[in-house]
Amino acid sequence: MIAELIEEPGAAWEECERLLNAAGTPLGLYHRACWARARSGEGASYSLVAVRSSRADCIAAFAIESRPTRALPGHRILSLVRLGIGQGGLDDESLALGLGELVRYARRDKSVLMVTADSFSIEPDWLLRTGDALRQNGFRLTASQRTYARTLLLDLEPSEDELMAGLHKSARRNIRDAAKFPVVLESAESASLAGRLQELDDETRSRTGGGPREMDWKSMIAMTAKNPHLSRISLLRRTDREGPEAVLAYAWCCMQGDVAQYSESGSTRVEDLKVSTSYILLWDLICWARRNGARYFDLGGVTGGAEGTADPLGGISDFKRRFSPFEFEVGQEWAFEPHPARAATARAISRGAGLLRRAARRIRTRKS
């Protein structure tokens, strides 16, 4: 076997996808060419590490995201997202080979400040073995900041009726009660909805203490429309209003191999309708995932808190537990510094910038 770097989405990347699909080991969305193209408008570029057999067929692969960093001008950070044995054809040998190619590339390229890796697996043994491969290639385990370490999983093997019967009674009631209101479920297919999705995202993050972020919703909608088996942006729209403002909430799910990931959601407060928007949207995504061949539904992370505690996401975790009580450790975060002296310089600059920002805030506070 050999590993090679495919530097941009194109025919070679898509041929790897075709071969892995045919082998029954499909790439997750975050490792596909369509995702790389959709995210390019947000300042990221992507490449693919392809592991080939002696016949030159692609037998395993994972994507690399590259973004510039403000910590040290002219440098960038490489990221591996949802990396793990059992995904995209990866086993112990092919993962070690692919990581070795990545490490050699990062050491050759002086602009690479750091490589981060978010490992993921619903199989505890595979998660441990993925961590072993990362450690053996110079990565160190770090505290989770970018992604979730624990999540709730829902087994999608039962029928939809059986799945509904297994939900918490309040979840079943809220799903069924949506039919009493002038609302309809739809999928996002028009770029004209991009602004509304951003508004819903902003409002939701402000309620849960998250900072604002800009997402390229036009590209996300276009990607989803072209790949409805890999991505769904489900909308709840009121039928007694017109225009984008009639959309009350959205929820996005994507296929990561045979696991469907509940990835993003947003909503607005509605005073004149007492409909619970989140329940019907999540149920719609669960049904979509099951119909598209997912074996498990990943509810997108869970925290240890509950509603009414200091945990700002406690209420969301309570909501998710009404769909599944089965909690698993699924992820870890790792980092590798190919050029330690440059990384140390970047950390020193970041600390200095942080001190200046805090001093400026103190001065503004005294003046006010």
Domain ranges of the chain: 2-142+338-367, 151-329
Domains 2-142+338-367 and 151-329 share a fold: yes
> Residue 274: what pLDDT?
86
Instruction: For residue 252, give the nearest of 221, 274, 275 by alpha carbon.
Output: 221
Q: The tokens 């829902």 sit on which residue?
A: 154
Counting every residue written for the chain, the total comes to 368
CATH of 151-329, one of 3.40.50.12280, 3.40.630.30, 3.40.50.720, 3.30.200.20: 3.40.630.30
CA distance 353 to 349: 6
Q: Which of 72-76, 136-140, 271-275 has the highest mean pLDDT?
A: 136-140
Query: What are 114-167's pLDDT values in tens digits?
Result: 999 999 999 999 999 999 999 999 999 998 788 899 999 999 999 999 999 999
Which residues fall within 8 angstroms of residue 11, CB to CB, at 6 or more apart? none
Question: Could you tell me what percent of the chain has a pLDDT over 70?
Answer: 94
CA distance 100 to 193: 43
pLDDT at 287 over 70: yes
Instruction: Decide which of 304 and 65 is more confident.
Output: 65
The predicted model scores a pTM of: 0.90
Question: Could you tell me what percent of the chain has a pLDDT over 90?
Answer: 77
CATH of 2-142+338-367, one of 3.40.630.30, 3.40.47.10, 3.30.70.370, 3.20.20.70: 3.40.630.30
Query: What are 27-45's pLDDT values in tens digits?
Result: 999 999 999 999 988 889 9
Instruction: Decide which of 312 and 358 is more confident.
Output: 312
Query: What are 182-194's pLDDT values in tens digits?
Result: 999 999 999 999 9
Instruction: Decide which of 270 and 199 is more confident.
Output: 199
Mean pLDDT of 5-15: 96
